[in-house]
Amino acid sequence: GVSDPWLDYQISAAKAIRESLSNIILEKQKLKIDRLNEQLLEAHDELELFSQGLSHDLKAPLRGIDGYAHILKEDHYNSLEKPGQQAVDTILSSTREMQELIDNILSFAGVSGQSLDKGIFSVNHQVEDILQSFNIKSNYPKTRIIMDKDLPRMMADKRMITQVWSNLITNALKYSEKEEAPEIEIGARGIEGKTTYYVKDNGIGFDPRHKEDIFNLFSRFSGDGYKGTGIGLAIVKKIIEKHNGRIWAESEAGKGSIFYFHV
Ligand code: ADP
């Protein structure tokens, strides 16, 4: 409302200036984002190397502590008073926990660097091998395992998917162990047009508000009564995402859980 009305050629000149300016700004922003992305990738690689290095370095002294604690247990246990014996047992169980933690961190850090080695394999054989290695009959005598005998074969990185099943089944066993009649079901069904595998248990379950958070590193929601590192599901999620698949869980506290995934 101040200037004289603009002429057509003035309006198109103004539009051209606006376009050039926004192109310059966009180009500048793009360069900035590219630079930030590069820095982020560098920081990520550095952190991964750091965690791998650190975990390896922590293992050596831990082996020393574990070795000497075993010597104490095997050769000198009977000459110790009760509190001494308890101390040795605590050292041994703590080193075991720390070894597990370090192995899990190494495994988590390792997944990103590994490339996929895809092939077709029998999921039934894979799960049977895992169940056998867990020695369910003697370690979880009360638990009943129901497995679909015709699970569809899978096209994926077998070694990585073994880690997925191991973690999901370990959790199902662990978080249902204290039930009267623990039951675990392993099966498959079509969901979202994909062959979706699942592990279901009738254990303690979790609050559905945590159904995304349980997959975060070091997230634990089940209290001190259950041992763990909070890394297992983070590894599982990373592996499934590497396959461009999806994993999710449904549960209600006290009503068991079901974990689904497809690749
Ligand atoms: P961890 O079992 O070592 O604590 P995970 O990463 O495997 O770590 O699981 C993260 C958390 O998710 C667990 O601490 C537990 O609270 C919850 N969770 C996982 N699996 C189950 C399950 N089958 N039933 C109930 N809670 C589960």
Mutate to test the pocket of ligand 1, among 107, 163, 169, 171 (most ligand atoms within 8 A of CB): 171
| Nearest-angstrom CA–CA distance, 219 and 48 | 19
Q: What is residue 89's predicted lDDT score, i.e. its pLDDT?
A: 96
| Nearest-angstrom CA–CA distance, 191 and 201 | 19
pLDDT tens-digit series, residues 134-147 = 999 999 999 999 99
Partner residues linked to 146 by β-bridges: 185
> The whole model's pTM is what?
0.80
Q: What is residue 169's predicted lDDT score, i.e. its pLDDT?
A: 98
Bin 11: left if φ > 0, else alpha if -120 < ψ < 50, else beta. Answer: alpha
pLDDT tens-digit series, residues 145-184 = 999 999 999 999 999 999 999 999 999 999 999 999 999 9
Query: How many angstroms does the Cα of residue 54 sit away from the middle of ligand 1?
Result: 25
Place of tokens 């049977």: 128
| Nearest-angstrom CA–CA distance, 76 and 73 | 6
Identify the residue whose C-alpha is closest to ligand 1 atom 2: 228
Q: What is residue 79's predicted lDDT score, i.e. its pLDDT?
A: 95
Q: Which of 114-118, 225-229, 241-245 has the highest mean pLDDT?
A: 241-245
Dihedral through CA 235, CA 189, CA 177, CA 254, nearest 10? Answer: 100
